[in-house]
Every structure is written in C-alpha cells, then in structure tokens.
Amino acid sequence: MKAFFTVFLLAFFFQLYPVFGQNLTGVKIYINPGHGGYDSDDRNVVIPPFAAGDPNGFWESVSNLDKGLHLRDLLQAAGAEVIMSRVLNRTVDDRPLSAIAEEANVNNSDFMISIHSNAHTGAVNYPLMLFHGWDNNPILPASLDLANLFWENLISNQIAHWTYTSRSVRGDKSFAPESWNGYGVLRPLTVPGLISEGSFHDYIPETYRLMNIDYKKLEAWHFYKAFVQYFDGTPDTKGKIAGYVKDSFSKVTAYYVAPGSKDQWLPVNGATVTLNPGNKVYNVDNLNNGAFVFHDLNPGTYQLTFEVTKYQQKVVENIEVLPNKVTYFLCALDQDRSDPLKVLSHSPAPAAGELVSAATTISFNFNFEVDRASFESAFSILPVTSGTFDYSDQDRTASFVPSNPLEKSTLYTVTLDKSARHIGNLSMDEDYSFTFTTRNRNRLELVDASPLNQSTNIFPSSQVKLHFDWKLKNLNLSTLISFIDAQGNPVPRSTIEVNTLPGDVGTYAFRYSALTPGAKYFLNLNRNIEDESGLTLGEDITIEFNVISVPVPDASIVYSFEDAVTDWTVDEAKSLNIITGASTRILRYSTIKLFGTYSYRLLYAFNPGEAYVVVNYANSGIKVSTNDYLGLYIGGDLSHNKLYALFEGASGLFEIPFTTIDFAGWQLRGIRLTGLPDDGLYTFKGFKMKSGETPFSVSGVVLFDNLLWSMESITSLPDNNNIDNRNIIIAPNPVVNDINLYTNLKINDTPYQIIAIDGRVVQTGIAKLDNGRSQIPVSSLLKGVYFLIINNGSEKHQTIFRVN
C-alpha cells in the first residue's frame, strides 16, 4: 500500500510538472537591470510627445527593469531562484558595480545577467552580448556559451529591424576601451555572467518599441529561452504570436529610419488586434511602434483580425503557433480611402493684396496620395505656362513647377478639375480653383555696376561692385560671378560683401589688388545667379574693362589725408536727416589707401528722403580762387550720392558740385572752380554729400586720398570726368518715363542710341531737337543704368543715366 501510494505521488508530481515549469528547479540566477533612478547615470532618449527628463518618456533604467522583472517571473515559474539587484527605479537602487558583483558571488548564483540597451549614432540597431575576457578567450567559458544563446534568441526577433545581423558576441576586454580593463560589473564575478545590450535605444524606431511593455517582455522571454537551453530545462510548451501593424503606403518622415527597411513604414497607432479562437484582444499603443504580442498560446492554428479607424480591416487566417516559438505576423494595413480626394491646402496662398514671386511653385496638399496621371490631366493654369510636375510627402503633395519665371504683374488662375483622384480611385467632389497675382518683376536685374562694360579707367587696386534689384541668394556667388584675366585665369578677390544695404535691393562687392596696367579683365555673371525670391538673372552678362596705372597729374597735393582726423568732423547741426553716432563719422583708415599710410573714410547713413552730411575741415589752410582746378582721389561706393566741395570767402559760403559717386573703388575726379566769385581767395572748408535718394544711396563708405590743386587744367583726368566737357545734359536723372535732353551743340535732329551696361543696344531713335531740347521716352526700359549716345556723324557725345 505504501509503495503504491509513493508511486502514485511520484506519478502525480511528474504529471503536474509540465504545468508548473520547465525544470529550472535549484538554478539560481542573478539579474541586474542596469542603471536606475532617472539621474545622470541613467539614459534618457527624447521622443515626442515626451520632453527631456519626462519620467514617462524613454529611460534605459525603466526599460531594463521591465525586462528584468518579467524574466524573474518566467524563471521563478520554472522553478528557478532569482535574485534581483533592484526591483524599483530610484537612484538608491542603482548599486555600485562592485556591490552588484559581490551580491551575485556571495549568494552562490549560477549565472549573472546585467540587462542593458545600447546607444551609438542613432543609426544602428542590433543585439550585442558582452562576456568578461577577450573575443577568443573568455575568462569563464560558460559566459560565452550563454552569450551566444542570448544573441541567437534576440536576433530572431522579427519586429525589429536589425541593421547588423552578424554575430555580435564580444569579450569586454576586446570590445571596451583598453583603459577600462573590461566592464566593472563583470570583472569581480566568480560566476559566469554577461551584459546584454539587447538593442540600441537611440535608434528612434527601437526607442518607440522599447516603450511597449510586451515588446520588452518578448525580449525577456528570449532571455528566458536562452536560460532554458543553457540549463537543459524543458522548453516552453506554449508559443506566441507577435508582430506589428504598419501602413502599407505611408512612410515615416519625422525621424531617421534605416533606408529601405521595414522601419520605413509608418506604424499604426491604436489598432485593435483580435485573436481567435479565444477572442483575445490586443490594443496597440499610441507610441509609434505598432507592436503587438500574444503570450502563452497553446499550439494550434489561429486567426488574426486587424482593425483601426481610417484603415481597411484585415483578417489573416492560418497563423500557426508552435511550442516554444514566436510566430511573427508583420501586418501592412491599407488606408480606408473611401472618402473622395480633397485639397487640404494650396500654395501660393497670398493674403489680400499681397503679390507673389514670379518664381513661385504651385502646390496642392491632399488628404490622400494623389494619382499622378489624373492630377496632371486635371491641372491647368491660365495664362498657359509650361512646366513639370513634382511630388512629395508620399504623393500627398503635388506641385507644378514652371519652366520659366511667370509673367510679371499678371493674374494667374489655377484650376484642378474634379477628375483628379487618389490612389483609391475616388475623385474630388468638385473643381478646385484659386488665383494669385505676380509681382512686377520676373527676373533678377543688374541695375548698376562698377566698373561698367568697356571701362578704360580702372585702377590696379580697387573694387568691383554690382547692384541688383533684389537681395541675392548668397549661395555659390563666387562661382556664379567669376573674375578672370584675359587668359582666363581667376583673379583673387577679397573683402567680399553681399547684400549690405537695407530694403529689397541686393549688392555684391569685392576688392582686388595688383592688376596689370594695360591688361584687360572680365567679370562674368552667370544667368543662374538667383535672388531670394527665386528669380534668376536669366542671361549671362560679361563686363570687360581695362586697367590703367594710377594717374598722378602734375598738380600739388594740398592735403594728403595722412594726419589724424582731429580737424575733420561731421557737422551734425548742418547735416540733414542723417543717422548720427557710429553710423555717420569720418576717421583715418590704414586698411585701404591709395597713397602713403592712410586715407580718410567717411561712413554715412541717411534716413529716407532728402538728406545730406556735412564734413567740416577746421583750420584748413587750403586757399583757392576762381577757375583753379581741384582733383581728389575718391574711393566710391556706387551710391550715386552727390559730392560737393565747400568753400568760404569774402562773398560767403559756397557749395561747388564736385562729382556724382557713380563708381565703386578708386577714381580721380576733379573740377574747375568756376562757381566761385572772382573776389579773392577762398578757403576749402570740407565736403558735403547729398543723398542720391535711390535705394543704393542710404548708407555706405566713401574714401578720400590726396587732394590736388593746380592753376592749370589737371590734364590726366579722364575725359568723361571733366565736368567742363558737358555738351549734353539730361534730366531728370534718375528717370522713370521720359528724358529731357538739353544741349548747347548746334545740331539738328540727331540719331541716338541707348546702350545697357552690358553693351546691348536697347533703344534707338531720333532725338528731335527744338531749340536745343528734346524728349526721349524711356518707359519701356528696365530698371538699370544706361548710356545715351547722340551721334550725327560729326558730333558724338554720350552721357549716362539711370532708370528707376
């Protein structure tokens, strides 16, 4: 009887055994979930919607603990004894490394596992196992055995994308920096142990997966499975179904994903996954992972049903569950495109009265992915414009890109016929149409330049300056604007300045030095120079100029601009509408000069409207009389401001027009003082500079070097700077509609040409002179600088003017 009872008990025990565990009785495992406490020793990865430091966001300590606790539960259910270094997540739970190892040692553990996840560049994801020792020489060989089992189980996870699938099982002394001598938690172990870096928590798709408790439990189950294999336990009799729910078409755009991988597809938040038989329901979370896991399933055949708003339901039959295995189903759900195609927004969408750049692209944003062929067929624009189509945001945005800039000052009507449909084949309910008007410009204009084309009076060290009607896009300008010699060799440039003026206008300037007198140089402007509104120059422009030696006429230097500027001051009281202080001042300047050690540098800034700055020269000893000649080397800024020389004598104060600063860099300009009365000597008192009242006149820098005086004509002045040689005068200048031409020449109706600064003849005609006066229309000309040449065969004269 007793024997029978004993046999019965034994039979009963073994009958129960498979129900309760996989025979790990007596095995003692030490689990160390790494880090702890949301502190500086922890690892926080910021993922929306969680801000940095949010305890509800991703923390490695939390992830490690979740895995550790589930592993504990699995091992204990199998009869193992488990010690955990922590079960809570506080700083105090983050034990010193030596204490962790000692706890495993003194409690006679059979194995120690330290659970972690890894981080590197945010672009990789793979499991890595670390045992103590070198790659080919583990200090405790059993560590390597279990490390391999861990890796094999973790790499089998098909929910994750692994960027690297080669075996990553490393000795810590080979892997870690040499100065570490291995990892602190492995070094003091008397028992086999390993550090599991299960995946990379800084690879954002994985970060989101590690926010899912079942995904972490799956990793823990893989640890457990490895332990069962290691300790020859009984394999799990149950299986699992795991996978993810993702969009079949839409892709992730908000963060980096491994290109071309399954992580590229957008996870579907909030899906419901129903398992039958058993009617088990899994609610996918809203944390951008799409992950689901059904644990502890009896082997058999199952059905999965996937449902979520705005997606088509999917039913999958014949999912086979096997013991001790995970059956993966990676679900791609099609969006429920049962609504018609709808335009959510368009561009351009200007406010009332707002004008649009002629470089604009026309775009539509849709609620679904648009069928390209139907979109292109349904699209129209009036006036008719040629262009191409472009798609983005996974075809939820469709654009029409005009081949050329749109016409300026033109009302465009864009229509999308309701025949446009989405990839689900449903078209729009009605036509969609909008309008916009372009600005009064459709190309970038070069409105002024120095040097001008064919200039023959350019100094060897000077400045190039280009003025445009819009701010330049500062991209590759040094390539798009080339500066070469006659042999095609690039010429060095320095002090490059871009867009230095306020408002819409654009500028490009640079300095050069040591050009060869007598040589020819070229400035090439590429047609693709672009402004900030997207318009381009549209055509190549070449400016050719010749360099001369710096002219040094036979005249006395009455002021060298070498002395300290103590006698030179900006007279704010006599100036008008200037911005005072550092914006308008005169100072001695050693960086750029033509002669000696210094020049003087006048910085100025005008407010809009009529404005002028007066610079006084106190204690001037420079005496002049009527009909004397003055010359001055001026470093201009192409501002078209007007410079006057100031004199004081018996008849009072006089402002004598000196020159218009219609150039950049150094020039020698001069005047004959015919405007002074013939009543004695006059003292030179300084300068006055009036604003040209153009967008390029508002601020800048003008340099002065060597003031010359002579009683004879300063013969080396270039002809077109000799103000005495004015046979034709035009006004207004600048001009908008018509030029009034005045001449003292005895000529009749005379042919004229108007030539652009690039040398193109843009207008010709006959100047009909009436008592030395004629009117020439220029309203058809674009904004810019032009030459007017009148030439009747015996008289040829030219002057320069600007169209605003």
Is position 41 an interface residue for another protein (rule: CB under 8 A)?
yes
346 CA to centre of own chain: 23
Minimum Å gap between C-beta 196 and another protein is 13
CB 356 within 8 A of CB 439: yes
- Residue 360 Cβ, how far from another protein at the closest point, in Å? 54
In the structure encoding, which two tokens stand for residue 361, read together?
A: 């692209």
Contact pick of 1, 19, 92, 564 for another protein (by CB under 8 A): 92
CB of 162 to another protein, least distance (A): 23
Range in contact with another protein (rule: CB under 8 A) among 90-98, 350-358, 501-509, 670-678: 90-98
Q: Which helix (H) or strand (E) segment is 9 a member of?
A: helix 2-20
Bridge-partner residues for 281, per DSSP? 274
> What residues from 311 to 370 belong to the interface with another protein (CB under 8 A)?
none
Angle between helices 213-230 and 60-77 (to 10 degrees): 50
Applying CB under 8 A, which of residues 23, 85, 507, 774 lies at the interface with another protein?
85
In the complex, the smallest distance separating the C-beta of residue 220 from another protein, rounded to whole angstroms, is 20
Of 340, 344, 387, 394, nearest to 364 by C-alpha is 344
Residue type, 553: P
Q: Does 119 bind another protein (CB under 8 A)?
A: no
Cα(430)–Cα(425) distance, integer angstroms: 15
- Which tokens in the block code for residue 340? 């018609």
Using CA atoms, how far apart are residues 100 and 92, in angstroms rounded to an integer?
13
Does residue 96 touch another protein according to CB under 8 A? yes
The verdict on 106 binding another protein (CB under 8 A) reads yes
Cβ–Cβ < 8 Å for 22, 228: yes
**Is 95 among the residues that bind another protein (CB under 8 A)?**
yes
Count of CB atoms situated within 10 Å of the CB of 220: 22
Among 16, 99, 322, 618, binds another protein (CB under 8 A): 99
Tell me the DSSP string of 568-606.
EEE-TTT-BSB--GGGSEEEEESSS-SSSS-EEEEEEEB
CA angle (657, 658, 659) in 5-degree steps: 105
| Span of 85-93, 295-303, 386-394, 644-652 interacting with another protein by CB under 8 A | 85-93
**Chosen residue from 54, 73, 97, 158 binding another protein by CB under 8 A:** 97
Lay out the sheet containing 111-118: strands in order across.
81-84, 28-33, 111-118, 193-200, 128-131, 169-171
Nearest residue to 159 (alpha-carbon basis) of 296, 46, 294? 294
Is the bond leading into 259 cis (omega within 30 degrees of zero)? Answer: no
Is 68 near another protein (CB under 8 A)? no
Kindly report the number of other CB atoms within 10 A of residue 136's CB atom: 8
Q: Which stretch binds another protein (CB under 8 A): 229-237, 664-672, 694-702, 739-747?
A: 229-237
Instruction: Supply the minimum distance, in Å, between the C-beta of residue 117 and another protein.
Output: 12
The interface region with another protein, picked from 228-236, 357-365, 369-377, 383-391 by CB under 8 A, is: 228-236
Does position 21 bind another protein by CB under 8 A?
no
Q: Are 508 and 539 in contact (CB under 8 A)?
A: no
102/544 with CB nearer another protein: 102
For another protein, which is the closer residue by CB, 34 or 686? 34
Minimal distance, residue 232 CB to another protein, in Å: 7
> Of 179, 129, 180, which Cα lies nearest the Cα of 150?
129
The DSSP call for residue 179 is G
Nearest distance from residue 190's CB to another protein, in Å?
4
Which has the closest alpha carbon to 525: 536, 516, 514, 512?
A: 536
User: Buried (b) or exposed (e) across 192-205, using 16+ Cβ within 10 A?
Assistant: bbbbbbbbbbbbbb
Closest separation between CB of residue 128 and another protein, Å?
Answer: 13
Q: Which is nearer to another protein, 67 or 688 (CB)?
A: 67
DSSP letter, residue 4: H
Using CB under 8 A, which of 50, 54, 79, 102 touches another protein?
A: 102
- Determine if 109 is a binding residue for another protein (CB under 8 A): yes
Q: Tell me the CB-side half-sphere exposure of residue 517, using CA atoms within 13 A.
A: 6
Binding mask 281-310 for another protein (x = CB under 8 A): ------------------------------
The 122-161 site mask, x for binding another protein (CB under 8 A), equals: ----------x------xx-x-------------------
CB nearer another protein, residue 98 or residue 456: 98
Of 98-106, 339-347, 611-619, 760-768, the window that binds another protein (rule: CB under 8 A) is 98-106
How far apart are CB 531 and another protein at their closest, in Å?
A: 53
Shortest Cβ 357–another protein spacing (Å): 54
Closer residue to another protein (CB): 62 or 472: 62
Residue the block writes with tokens 């000309």: 781
Site for another protein in 422-461 (CB under 8 A): none
**Least separation in angstroms between CB 469 and another protein:** 60
Nearest approach in angstroms of CB 507 to another protein is 54
Query: Pick from 18, 26, 48, 732: which binds another protein (CB under 8 A)?
Result: 26
* Contact by Cβ (8 Å): 115, 68: yes
**156-215 positions binding another protein, by CB under 8 A:** 176, 180-185, 187-192
Please name the helix (run of DSSP H) or strand (run of DSSP E) that holds residue 267, with its range, or none. strand 265-267
Nearer to another protein, 109 or 212 (CB): 109
DSSP string, 724-751: T---EEEESSSBSSEEEEEE-S---SEE
Q: How many beta carbons lie within 10 A of that of residue 445, not counting itself?
A: 18
The DSSP symbol for 236 reads: P
In this complex, which beta carbon is closest to another protein, that of residue 97 or of residue 519? Answer: 97
| Binding string, residues 645-664; x marks residues near another protein by CB under 8 A | --------------------
Peptide bond into 323 cis (omega under 30): no
Residue in 54, 103, 485, 795 binding another protein, rule: CB under 8 A? 103
**Could you say which residues in the range 546-565 bind another protein, by CB under 8 A?**
none
Q: How many of the chain's residues bind another protein (CB under 8 A)?
A: 47
The CB-of-189 to another protein minimum distance in angstroms stands at: 6
User: Judged by CB under 8 A, which stretch of 224-232, 262-270, 510-518, 604-612 contacts another protein?
Assistant: 224-232
The nearer residue to another protein, 230 or 600, going by C-beta atoms, is 230
3-state secondary structure of 456: strand
Binding string, 752-781, against another protein, x = CB under 8 A?
------------------------------
Separation between Cα atoms, residue 52 and residue 61, nearest integer Å: 15
Q: Examine residue 113 and tell whether it contacts another protein (CB under 8 A).
A: no
Shorter beta-carbon distance to another protein: residue 54 or 145: 145
Residues 6+ away with beta carbon under 8 Å from 271 = 245, 283, 284, 290, 292, 306, 307, 308, 311, 333
Binding residues for another protein, per CB under 8 A? 26-28, 34-35, 41-42, 81, 83, 85, 92-99, 102-103, 105-111, 132, 139-140, 142, 176, 180-185, 187-192, 230-232
